[in-house]
A and B are shown apart, each in its own frame.
Chain A
Amino acid sequence: MKLLAVCGMGIGTSVLLKMNAEKVLKTLEIEATVDATDLATAQERRDAQIILTTPDLVDKLQGLPAEVIAIEHFFDLEEITKKLSHSLG
């Protein structure tokens, strides 16, 4: 399974989100990789099942095969866990 962590520039916030998403996936015992990318790259990727991003960028990631999940608080593992478990059933 592949996830993308997306922010506008690809150097900052997406890496922080990627790290916390990886922590959560490990705890949930889900086999998956998370790539940190910028918005432009994410819009061209077709290989991810889930995209994690900030609420502002959700609209710009519509129309892709992946499910887009908005994360408000990057350091709140509970929020990430809740939203990922909900999405992955």
Chain B
Amino acid sequence: MALTNSARLSAAGVASMRFAAVDEALGEGAIALGVSATDRTAAIRAAGDLLEATGRTTAAYTDEMVRAVEDHGPYIVIAPGIALAHGRPSAEVLETGLSLVTLAEPVVFGHAANDPVRLVIGLAAFDHNAHLGLMRELALLLGDDAAVNSVLKAVQTEQVRSLL
């Protein structure tokens, strides 16, 4: 049976990570730093493509992530500089997961108060009752200004992983 990252680390005697669930949800290769995106659609697609590449979603889910913002506006920019891109909990979600993209240049999403965006988190989940532990950690991580700033400054994915 495959061990989770945190189980492996616990077995190795390493202290459990502060954001173990987030680290777990970010599959191998789910982090991309300093990405160039010309507009909000490209920025959202970058996050969606990583979810697809790490086996969490299908390509159609990325389309939904883009459509959600086209239909409802940039409500996903939930704090200054941070967008939480996601789609509907549907059959396009294969597994709960996260992706993380930092943008080389800040991108305007059209949000009156929180533009421009520098960090895009891609989220795939089945429904809002499952994975509360993950959401709780995500809330703590994104609400921690120092942690977010460290993520934005990172040039190597290892630096981001070490924050988790």
- A residues at B contact (CB < 8 Å): 7-17, 19-20, 36-37, 39, 53-57, 60, 72-76
Contacts and interface: CB of A to CB of B under 8 A. Distances in A.
* Range, interface on chain B: 20 to 34
Interface stretch (B8-16, B18-26, B52-60, B78-86): B78-86
Q: Which 9 A-B pairs have the closest CB atoms?
A: A56-B73, A75-B143, A54-B75, A12-B86, A72-B113, A74-B78, A8-B72, A56-B75, A15-B135
Residue of B87, B132, B135 contacting most chain A CB atoms (<10 Å): B135
A9 B113 contact: no
A interface: dominant SS: mixed
A13 B78 contact: yes
Nearest to B87: A9
A76 B3 CA distance: 37
Nearest to A5: B128
Contacts of B114: 72-73
Contacts of B136: 19
A24 to B, nearest CB: 13
